Structure 1
Amino acid sequence: MAKKLLAMVLGLTMMIGVAGCSAVDTGSGSNDKNADTQVSVSAELLDAAKYKSDKEPADWTIAVVVKDGTSDWFKRMQVGVDEFGKEKTVDVIQKGPANADAASQVQLVEDMINQGVDALCIVPIDPGALESVLKKAMEKGIVVISHEASDLKSTLYDVEAFTAEDFGNTMMQELAKAMGEKGQYAQMVAYTTSTTHMEYSNAEYK
């Protein structure tokens, strides 16, 4: 019997496209912001062994939902996504909202659920806003993998390219060195709702 768990692993490879990724089991789901969403994910939904399918891998569909479909960053990412699909003979779809709006991203996930995809790779604009719809996907047997969302509850695994705190600290060290350890600085991120962006931005300088 083919397993959707394999589709999940393929989704990880496709979504990140970088070496040295780390996968985090998200069974604990302990983040204050996401606690406000009042979404509780059962241990059964987080059991990867339950995601099984009688389909052959060539019949799987993996959807990748990104933050912004118009961004050059994600357009470049789609090149890798498409190459993966051809190499593995798996149907892959990459979609992103045109205006980087959290509500639009939720609607895209709804669309992917309605299309009956087998696995969903998500790069959230706002993890908290996606909790309910991603839980719905998992309840329908869809494998959910996330990136830049270490606090997301409704996902089997969150995959990160680096440890956010170490990355942020390294940036601060290099900035301080360039400034001669003097002066003031301002830091900007793409989305203040993006977990990973805020984790490295708020990293303690060491």
Structure 2
Amino acid sequence: MINEIVQQTNVKLNDVRLSHRKQNSPDYKDTDAIELKRFIGLLMLSSICKSGHENMLSLTMKLVVLHSEQLVILQKRFEKLLQCLQFDDKNTRDERREHDGTAAISFIFKKFVLNSQNCFNLGTAYVDKMLVGFRGKCKFRIYMPNKSVKYGIKILSLTDARNSYFYNGCIYTGKDSDGQTLSKNENKVQKPTQAVIRLAKPL
């Protein structure tokens, strides 16, 4: 997963370097697995500290307090990585999007799900939905007024009832997305049942 993100992000960074004539700018240099892990670490810290709108200087001070200096990335570089982060081959995205509404993230999401399944033996299962906060441009972004984060991407999930371990999931892209990948007979049942069947496939 990391290597794929590094590869595709470097393609975007190179495009930006060429278009902005910044071939020698350190802010747009290629990234690598080590830097990307630091970048992800900062994003995780931001989430844990509930500091999505906090500037990087303040976050860096928290990192020093937490003795996590290895995670530090200069603020400007962090911002450029955030702008250029890519999860797929953008050259084939439009073609894939014709039959996959989540084309920009589906490869990484499916890989994450597979890794989750390979690392855990599921006990008692629990089906639920979660809303991943997101306010960017997205055709399947939804509004859920009963959630603390009201706008985002809905993920139907199969988790372990004891510890909430995420075992399987599918991204909700619209009213007909529950039955994707199911057979004709399976698609005849009600939509909530379709989602359960789809989530239970790996069991």
* Higher RCO (C-alpha under 8 Å, 6+ residues apart): 1
TM-score calculated relative to the size of structure 2: 0.23
TM-score calculated relative to the size of structure 1: 0.23
- Structure with higher Rg: it is 2
